[in-house]
Structure 1
Amino acid sequence: MGSEYFGLGYDGPPFTLFSAAHVWPLGAVALICVLVAVFTPRLGAPGREALRWGLALFSLANWLGWDLWQRANGVWSLAYSLPLHLCTFAVPLTALLLVTRSYRLYEVLYFWGFAGSTQAMLTPDLTTSGYNFPHFVYWIFWTSHGIILWAVVFAAAAWGYRPTVRSIVRVIVFTNLYLLIVALANWLTGGNYMFIARKPDFPSLIDFLGPWPWYIIPLQLIGVLAFAIVYLPYAIDDWRRAQRGAVPSH
């Protein structure tokens, strides 16, 4: 298969922000979220189970596909290829959520997905690698971020899951514990997972947040703000529930 589709040395036109190759998949991810939200409750139990397991298998296939692509092109390494960045770690967690129906995993993936994956899709690192439609890496990027959101929407539509204020606290604690594990992995491998060992090699928001390691503090504050923003629709619902004397059960 040629480099245009699968190889490392991509020689096609580079990916650019807000081009058709950027806007169309953004729309597709959003449309699938809407379709999952609308049609999941209308499916019978067999249909919901089929969708549940289909999404789980798709998550695993996406995760393995990215790993196999790196190995096939000779670029797999401990410092670069472990699933330790937030979104790459979220993909196998997505499969685990769908298999186990864990509400705690739902909480994590709700905030990581809507605060993290959406930001990644709005400013894709495809602009750095250059991989564009129809290259394999292009498809992996969009499906790996999309599947997190689709699974979260499915969990809400099929099982009635929703985050609460306590969810924000739990996810912040979990994320910081995860950061400690990632920091250890960076030290052992020489990697820069989650960009906490040093600034990324490409221009980013981190450039405006001060030197290492101090930029990690404002980066966390931005994360908390993002969590609060994506919780806002539920905060409004919480307020309305409180007015009626009803509160979320989770």
Structure 2
Amino acid sequence: MVSVASYNIRKSLGTDRKRQPGRILEVISEIDADIVALQEVDRRFGARNSSLAVENILKDTAYEVVRFGVRPTSLGWHGNTILIRKGIEVLAHKRLTLPALEPRGAVMADLRVNGRTLRVIGMHLGLVGLWRVRQARAVLQHLEALEEKLPTVFMGDLNQWTTEGGCLAQFAQTHNIIAPGPSFHSSRPVLPLDRIITDLDLDVIEAGVHMSEKARRASDHLPVWARLRIRDAPTAAPSFPPQAAP
């Protein structure tokens, strides 16, 4: 069994207009997932500084960071990064560039969890429907190009307001789409923007939206989570080379 979560942290800016990274880390600890995909980790302009400090993550949580940033002060790739519970092994990680009118990307990591190998993709798709479809196709094409096929989970803010069609139709052809529930706006959630998608090698045991009082204030998105069972997952070596740390 493995637990996963996705959280758009809005650069640690809460609904009270206060930027409190410590509060974000407390919410992440509340979720207590094995793997957490984060969106909007870094500032958008300038040096793209991360809103979360690595030393605080290591000191104040049970997590380590899979670093994708190309700048020394960034954790993410176009704002996306992955946190893993201490003890999980990173076999390989990779940045994915997505087609877009505005900068967009996704991140990929092959992880060994409890003796099983799991591929995790974190993403934040665009605001325009046509480009979301293209981005979904690009992610799937990146995946298809890999020689070694592994149980895979996609997580992130898809910016898809509807429950079907659009970019979801691209994933639905070969994957299971989990809709944990409305996650935006955190003060009164009505839109299911944040999704978890799995391939057929994963069974979904349960899923939901984390709705603590702290989560309602920490960001304009609520975290979504799922507990998964890996079916006879292989433990083969990663099929893409690790990228060097910046």
TM > 0.5 fold call: no
TM-score (norm 2): 0.25
Task: Name which one, 1 or 2, has greater alpha-carbon Rg.
Answer: 1
The structure with the largest helix share of the pair is 1
TM-score (norm 1): 0.25
The structure with the largest strand share of the pair is 2
